[in-house]
Chains A and B, each alone.
Chain A
């Protein structure tokens, strides 16, 4: 009798945890990427970027996932502060388009600067959550 009760409770816990497992939503994933750009880790960037990522800069340079990660981890491209504003999100099924304005203080190879961009990002919803599939910046 007691073991039945335990199974019942276990069942409840399992259902609850599987149905309501917290995966970051799209806003949280955008925020996670923003933080990772300021404090990049290879693990964090690798986890948030899709392996087919196409990452386009405002001046025409296009990076794949490896190049995108390397630029940040090596500090060739660095950010001391990033502010996102005017954000819009459109979601169709497992695809999300996020646009925002990007205002940042940069530290590229030790050189301080400021940058103001419009950004389009494309996200895919996967088992672990939203991952970055494509990005294009424009001035």
Chain B
């Protein structure tokens, strides 16, 4: 009886070690890093296009519901406010050029930095915006989606 109990506990211990190990294995390790980086770059590009041609569906599809979207002015938007600013025409992107882009990823998380040069029409005027942008992406169900963004003056 005691032997059996001891055996069960040892088996449980071995199992708990195993699950701990499993948790640290990331799904993207199977995909070569350069392909994964290309996938993130493509997501960044898709987001750029959707900022210019936004719809509620395409913005929600490329961002996480817990999105935190920070502007260089200090304003922070959640996913709904982020979409609303674009869809209402309060931030109407006419162009968005990316330069000096760097992407680093670890497992299912990536950060991307780039310089953004954009023409944005706001209700009172047209702005030529030159900013340093940090975005954070997470891979969910095989797809890279935006989790956080922070712009800062260059």
Contact = CB atoms under 8 A, between A and B. Distances in A.
Contacts of B70: 99, 118, 120, 138
A97 B148 contact: yes
A95 B140 CA distance: 12
Contacts of B61: none
A78 to B, nearest CB: 22
B108 A93 contact: yes
A38 interface: no
A118 B106 CA distance: 25
Interface string A1-42: 100110110011011001100000000000000000000000
- What size tier do the contact residues of chain A reach? 35 or more
B35 interface: no
Given A15-B9, A60-B153, A93-B138, A99 B76 contact: yes
Nearest to B105: A52
B17 interface: yes
B154 interface: yes
B89 interface: no
Nearest to A18: B16
Contacts of A124: 106-107, 109
Given A18-B17, A19-B16, A56 B134 contact: yes
Nearest to A14: B13
B contact face: mostly helix, strand, loop, or mixed: strand
B74 interface: yes
Contacts of B94: none
Given A127-B24, A136-B134, A94 B9 contact: no
B95 interface: no
Contact of B2 (A1, A14, A19, A134): A1
Interface of B: 2-3, 5-6, 9-10, 12-13, 16-17, 20, 24, 26, 64, 66, 68, 70, 72, 74, 76, 102, 104, 106-109, 111, 113, 132, 134, 136, 138, 140, 147-148, 150-154
Given A11-B10, A120-B68, A120-B134, 16 more contacts: A1-B2, A8-B6, A52-B104, A52-B111, A60-B153, A88-B68, A93-B108, A93-B138, A95-B109, A95-B136, A118-B70, A122-B109, A124-B106, A127-B24, A133-B111, A138-B150
Interface of A: 1, 4-5, 7-8, 11-12, 14-15, 18-19, 50, 52, 54, 56, 58, 60, 62, 88, 90, 92-95, 97, 99, 118, 120, 122, 124, 126-127, 133-134, 136-139
11 contacts: A4-B6, A50-B106, A60-B132, A93-B138, A95-B108, A97-B147, A118-B70, A120-B148, A122-B111, A138-B72, A138-B150
